[in-house]
Structure 1
Amino acid sequence: MRSRPWLRALLFGAASCLCLCTLPGPAAAADDAASTPTPDAVERAQSLFKKGAALFEGGRYALALEQFRASYAAVASPNSRLYIARCLAELDDLPEAYLEFERVAEEAAARAKTEDRYAQTGQTALLERDELARKLALVTVTVARPASATSLTIAGKAIPRERWGKPYPVRPGKTEVVLRTQVTSIPQTIELSAGEAKTLPIDADASGPLDGAEGAGLLDEGTVPATAETPSRRAYLRPYAVVAGGVGVAGLGVFTVAGLMANSTYSDLAETCRGPCPIERQDDVDAGKAQKTVANVGLVVGALGLVTGTTLFILSFTGGGAGEPQGAATSPQLLVAPSYVGLRGAF
């Protein structure tokens, strides 16, 4: 779909207004690290994130990934990590992106216990992880009687012991699972389709699955729920829609009050002066001009806030289904960082 410059300008202008309302100060930004970072680290993290956001917007995902990782290294913010996962998804490293979204959700949930602003980051990460799950397959390997030297690999990647017994993402098709002990190697090959989830039990003391027959222990867990059961990926925009709408209502309130005051002042001047006002009434004239200016500003802010709130609210209910390609250029997204908010996307 061709770009509409006026709509893009509106959304980016609205994002700038929201920045003024949500931009945290240095102390709040410093809280983004598990241990309080230095002001220089916070400034570096913000600068790197903005560079990454610009590269991400331009479709240069590999370079953007480097910037987001450097930003996270400077200040460990779940918001930066969220974009690391998104870059991996855009680069078609879907299994690693799935795992990264999961790490984002875990980290954000832990941070949200003391920092409420990360709760939405965790929810967004889970939504995007579940979207990827429909393009992948999930295999859960349970290991009976493992020894201290027992190791597990899935699709050629070593799986940490704490990950055993949990769903692990793989690409659809054939996947090799290998359990190694001190004395033997137990390979298994399973074939899964997109959206499928299965459990593979393996006995570390046997030469195969628990019943000794290849593939006989494979348990079908069904498929990932259909798209209609998954909330919109853009649901995280709704709080910002409420904020923008509130700003719009407040702006119209200022417009109404200041407009009434300006009308009252000018009516009084017109009645008493009946022509050009004398110099001693200059203060009243200046007051009327100031009231008019405040009313005009209130009208602009109110209109922009309501239009922005309505736009974000509509966007929060659209897109994000299974049929929408990952990273589609037509999907505007909110950029969040240690101290940055913005929108990216093309219309």
Structure 2
Amino acid sequence: MRSRPWLRALLFGAASCLCLCTLPGPAAAADDAASTPTPDAVERAQSLFKKGAALFESRRYALALEQFRASYAAVASPNSRLYIARCLAELGDLTEAYLEFEGVADEAAARAKTEERYAQTEQTAHLERDEIARKIALLTVTVARPESATSLTIAGKEVPRERWGQPYPVKPGKAEVVLRTQVTSIPQTVELSAGEAKTLPIDADASGPSGAPDGDAGLLDEGTIPPAAAPSPRAYLRPYAYAAGGVGVAGLGVFTIAGLMANGTYSDLAETCRGPCPVDRQDDVDAGKTQKTVANVGLVVGAIGLVTGTTLFILSFTGGGAGEPQPSATSPELLIAPGYVGLRGAF
């Protein structure tokens, strides 16, 4: 059997797919053609992210935060922003971390419409934001006749107008709320406990809460944030289970195709040579050996991929009990960077 072009082409294509599955992917396409990052920017973002990940793992969160922010400035990836939020949380700035996790979730949701890999980032950001919400308080300030107001400040921080009427994170304890108009300021003091959510209505044309006297009488207690109903903390393993399973299927595909080719080659040699093959058939003998080797490699990769994928899939549903501690910074975790995917103890 000197030539079977279609089989050789098929083997080459399958082997290429297997390599692409196992190698780190190239940098993702940009949000749009006008904002495509340059290769230098992507390389810089990857390098900064890796430095930040190493610092984060060694609990040097302030230095890690600088690296992740520089990485995000080079290439705006929701995954580097996710680690910015994690650094803020580890540094104890829980209210800023909450806002950052919200920003990550919104950005990842928008990117996930065209880049499916960011769907997991959105889910992770929501989970970690909700975990922080149980340690802080959420205050929703609804402003009646907002056109008369010029600014809203909660606990000394000015709230963007687009966030008026939405839960805003504050530290447990007393928080001062000041609504300013063109002619006056309307101050209110609110006391909240950890995990509590309240609503404070304020009328921009009145001297106190809308329809209520001064003080805390206008507060609407929304209760505390329930601690349960969170998915398994190992849910982040699921995409890698799917990826490993895909590698396993590709490996078995290579095994099947290469095995069929090897069998065909040896059958042809056995039929035509009827004994030791002459020197002019050595190329066919070598081709048969190569096909057999490729088939064996495909079988091993396929088996490993399927076993790994099954194991990760099962682990992704385990853990997460109410009293189970979350993985520490030194635990193995996913590292994802622009054009880089790895496992460290996620970009």
Which position in structure 1 is the counterpart of 2:224? 223
- 8 A Cα contact 1:23 1:341, kept in partner: yes
Distance 2:337 2:272 in 1: 57
CA contact (8 A) 1:173 1:193 kept: yes
- CA distance 1:322–1:93, change in 2 (3 Å): farther
- Residue-by-residue CA offset, 1:49-108 (whole Å, 9 max, x unaligned): 222222223322221211111111112222221221122122222111111111112222
Alignment pair present for 1:96 and 2:96: yes
In the alignment, what sits opposite 1:24?
Answer: 26
Residue 37 and residue 24 in structure 1: after superposition, are their counterparts in 2 closer, same or farther (change >3 A)?
same
1:3 matched residue in structure 2: none
Between the aligned partners of 1:278 and 1:36, the Cα distance in structure 2 is 58
Q: Cα offset for 1:235?
A: 2.7
Q: Deviations over 1:251-302 (max 9, x none)?
A: 1343355446546766887899898765344334312321232123113311
Q: How does 1:160-309 map to 2 (within 5 A)?
A: 160-210=160-210, 211-227=212-228, 229-259=229-259, 262=262, 278-309=278-309
Q: Deviations over 1:149-204 (max 9, x none)?
A: 64322222221222111001123333332334455444333332332211111223
1:311 deviation in Å?
A: 3.2
In structure 2, what is the equivalent of residue 328 of structure 1? Answer: 328
Q: Is the 8 A contact 2:22 2:247 kept in 1?
A: no
C-alpha distance in 1 between matches for 2:134 and 2:272:
75
Q: Quote the Cα distance in structure 1 between the aligned partners of 2:237 and 2:307.
A: 14
Q: TM-score, normalised by structure 1?
A: 0.80
Q: Is the 8 A contact 2:190 2:216 kept in 1?
A: yes
CA distance in 1, matches of 2:70, 2:161: 28
Please name the residue that 1:49 is paired with: 49
Q: Which letter maps to 2:96?
A: E
User: Which residue type is aligned with residue 160 of structure 2?
Assistant: P
Gaps of at least 5 residues in structure 2 are: 1-18
Deviates more, 1:77-86 or 1:186-195: 186-195
Change (3 A) 1:325 1:165: farther
Which residue in the other structure is 2:5 paired with? none
C-alpha distance 77-148 of structure 1, shift in aligned 2 (>3 A): farther
Q: Matches of 1:192 and 1:322 in 2, distance apart?
A: 24
Asked if 1 retains the 8 angstrom alpha-carbon contact of 2:148 and 2:204, the reply is: no
Query: How big is the shift at 1:340?
Result: 1.3
Report the CA distance shift for 1:55/1:130 in structure 2 as closer, same or farther (over 3 A): same
Note if contact 1:30-1:39 (Cα within 8 Å) is conserved in structure 2: no
Deviations 1:193-240 (A, max 9, x none): 33221111122333332311411111111222342x222344343233
Distance 1:251 1:37, change over 3 A: closer
C-alpha contact 1:172 1:193 (8 A) present in aligned 2: yes
Distance 1:134 1:114, change over 3 A: same
- Counterpart amino acid of 2:26? P
In structure 2, do the counterparts of structure 1 residues 70 and 324 end up closer, same or farther at CA, with 3 Å as the change threshold?
farther
Q: Does the 8 A contact of 1:206 with 1:212 survive in 2?
A: no
Q: CA RMSD in A?
A: 3.2
Matching of residue 68 in structure 1 with residue 62 in structure 2: no
Moved more, 325-334 or 45-54: 325-334
Q: CA deviation at 1:29?
A: 4.2
Contact 2:148/2:182 (<8 A) preserved: no
- Asked if the contact 1:196–1:224 (Cα under 8 Å) also holds between the matched residues in 2, the reply is yes
Residue range with higher mean Cα deviation, 128-137 or 107-116:
107-116
Gaps of 5+ in 1: 1-16
The residue identity in structure 2 corresponding to 1:307 is: V
Of stretches 110-119 and 297-306 in structure 1, the one that deviates more from structure 2 is: 110-119
Contact kept in structure 2, 1:30 and 1:42, CA below 8 Å: no
CA–CA distance in structure 1, aligned partners of residues 324 and 156 of structure 2: 30
The structure-2 alpha-carbon separation of the partners of 1:34 and 1:48, relative to structure 1 and needing over 3 Å to count, comes to farther
Contact 2:29 2:36 in 1 (8 A): no
> CA 1:83–1:193 in structure 2 vs 1: closer, same or farther (change >3 Å)?
same
Percent identical residues = 85
Say if 1:198 and 1:104 are closer, same or farther in 2 by CA, change over 3 A.
same
Q: Distance in 1 between matches of 2:156 and 2:300?
A: 58
Contact 1:78–1:121 (CA under 8 A) maintained in structure 2: yes
The 8 Å contact of residues 32 and 76 in structure 1, kept in 2 or not, is answered as no
Contact preservation (8 Å) 2:25, 2:340: yes
**8 Å contact from structure 1 (residues 18, 244) kept in 2:** no
- Is the Cα contact below 8 Å between 1:254 and 1:298 reproduced in 2? yes
Tell me how many residue pairs correspond in the alignment.
326
Q: Which secondary structure does the structure 2 equivalent of 1:239 belong to?
A: helix
Residue 127 of structure 1 corresponds to 127
